[in-house]
Amino acid sequence: MSEEKVKATDAKPEKSMLTRFLEATELDTRMLGMVGALFAVWIAFDIYSGILRPNDGLFGGAFLTPRNLWTLLVQTSSIAVMSTGMVLVIVMRHIDLSIGSMLSLVAVAGAVLQVYILAPAIGVGHPIIWITAILACVVLGTAVGALNGYLTAYAQIPAFIVTLGGLIAFSGVAFLLAKGVTVAPMDKTFKLIGGGVPASWLGPSWSWMLAILVCGFIILAILNGRRQRKRFNFALRPVWAEATLMVIGSTVVLGATAVLTSYAWPFGLIKKYALDNNIPIPSGIEDRSGDAICMAGEKIVRCTDGLIYYTGFAAPVLIAIAVGVVMTFIATRTRFGRYIYAIGGNPEAADLAGIDTKKMTVKVFALMGFLVGISAVIASARLDAATNALGQLNELFVIAAAVIGGTSLAGGIGTIYGALLGALMMQSIQSGMSLLNLPAAFQNIVVGTVLVFAVFVDQLYRRRVK
């Protein structure tokens, strides 16, 4: 063989520009695929809804509007919070089927405490009520989660059976506590956590200030990561790649803020706010598609004299983001998180390495229960009520969110940010189908199909990696 042929045989194929970009920025290709799929779902729903009910969405529909996207994020918050905990449970090769019924139990217990015990005893509106209710919800959720973990770890009952029993039992306990009726209304301050009242919205000014702070945090985090790589002699990303990551992160934050701060309050809410605060209402003000408008002569125009207000970030969204950041730190920057992934990767090796796998199991299930308590507060505060059916099918959406987000049911693999994206995907599908007025039975069929397909894709990916 000639020297030229040898060189041609040994030469490696030149990498494409996209491949070089992904390697330099170290972006997760699976997450990029999920983001692309999410946008595809959004665009499809907006186009289809535009055919049925034309609106001011990006593609002429009702899905990609500030109003719907704002509502979508608020609706996703409760599922998103629980999905961050489900990632760690599944990574450890367990499952928790009881979280939906657990949420119902915790929410009903918190509502009964407010409505039937504290309010009659110390008076409606007392600040002790909402503080005690929140503490009671997270403590009860943590205790129930720890019980699941104890039965799984020390009684050696499979987590599937333990939590399946909880799925049935907790719902029954919630029914008995609520006596089969809806427990309402919640404390006024407690309702702020649900994001259903103007006082729980940041408004444009505070939302933009928060967005700028987050952009600064992204830049500092990337710079600190580069400094740490230098410190430990790790390979550095190119400067242009890190600058690109800063731009991408900041663009996402600022873009989301621009959308959320462009959603105006509905007319009825503006009118009530104006009456409650003695703000003059221009003559001729009417309701058109939920917007605040008024008459300028014979022409209908938007009100610009202080009677149009914008929402910004809602309390549940801020809570979900905060939980996501904290859980990411726990999963990637603490010994506790490293132990979880070590156990999920190889339980026998982790046990031989001195990790107390039983105690870790209890802790992870307790953490899951704690997050269920937070979600119960969000869900009951948003609805201003609690029933034994409040968390129905939530376990399906949470598990689906984790799996769609890249968490492997075989254990050892999973990310918090992936689960958050998965939660947004699941809620987008459900919200889009509701927007199109599809039957509930059809919605359940689609959600179940998406879950099975996500597991199938995960299996294909694992085979490819191997």
**DSSP string computed for 205-255:** HHHHHHHHHHHHHHHHHHHHHHHHHHHTTPPPPPHHHHHHHHHHHHHHHHH
Establish whether the linkage from the previous residue to 204 is cis, with ω within 30° of 0. Answer: no
Q: Are residues 118 and 89 in the same domain?
A: yes
- Residue 247's alpha-carbon distances to 86, 215, 240, 254, 379, in angstroms, are 31, 9, 10, 10, 34
- Beta carbons within 10 angstroms of residue 21's beta carbon: 14
Residues 345 and 436 in one domain: yes
Q: Which amino acid would we find at residue 326?
A: V
Same domain, 365 and 293: no
Phi first, then psi: give them for residue 136, nearest 5 degrees: -65, -40
Residues 79 and 157 in one domain: yes
| Domain housing 130 | 65-199+314-444
Let me know if residue 465 belongs to a domain: no
Q: Are the C-beta atoms of residues 362 and 149 closer than 8 Å to each other?
A: yes
Q: Map tokens 């189908």 to a residue.
A: 433
User: Is there a single domain that holds both residue 151 and residue 281?
Assistant: no
Q: Are residues 96 and 158 in the same domain?
A: yes
Residues 298 and 257 in one domain: no
pLDDT in tens, the chain (466 residues): 555 555 555 555 677 787 888 888 888 888 888 898 899 999 999 998 888 777 777 777 889 999 999 999 999 999 999 999 999 999 999 999 999 999 999 999 999 999 999 999 998 889 999 999 999 999 999 999 999 999 999 999 999 999 999 999 999 999 999 998 999 999 999 999 999 888 899 999 999 999 999 999 999 999 999 999 998 888 889 999 999 999 999 999 999 999 999 998 877 777 777 777 777 766 544 444 444 445 444 444 444 444 678 899 999 999 999 999 999 999 999 999 999 999 999 999 999 999 999 999 999 999 999 999 999 999 999 999 999 999 988 998 999 899 988 898 888 899 999 999 999 999 999 899 988 888 888 878 887 888 788 777 777 776 666 5
Same domain for 194 and 319, yes or no, is yes
- Whether 457 maps to a domain, the answer reads no
Q: In this structure, are 27 and 99 located in the same domain?
A: no
Tokens of 291: 């917007």
Do 279 and 322 have their domain in common?
Answer: no
Whether residue 257 contacts residue 263, with contact meaning beta carbons closer than 8 Å, is answered with no
Q: Do residues 362 and 253 both lie within one domain?
A: no
Total domains present in the chain: 4
Judge if 222 and 166 occupy the same domain. no
Residue whose entry in the numeric block shows the structure tokens 């008076």: 123
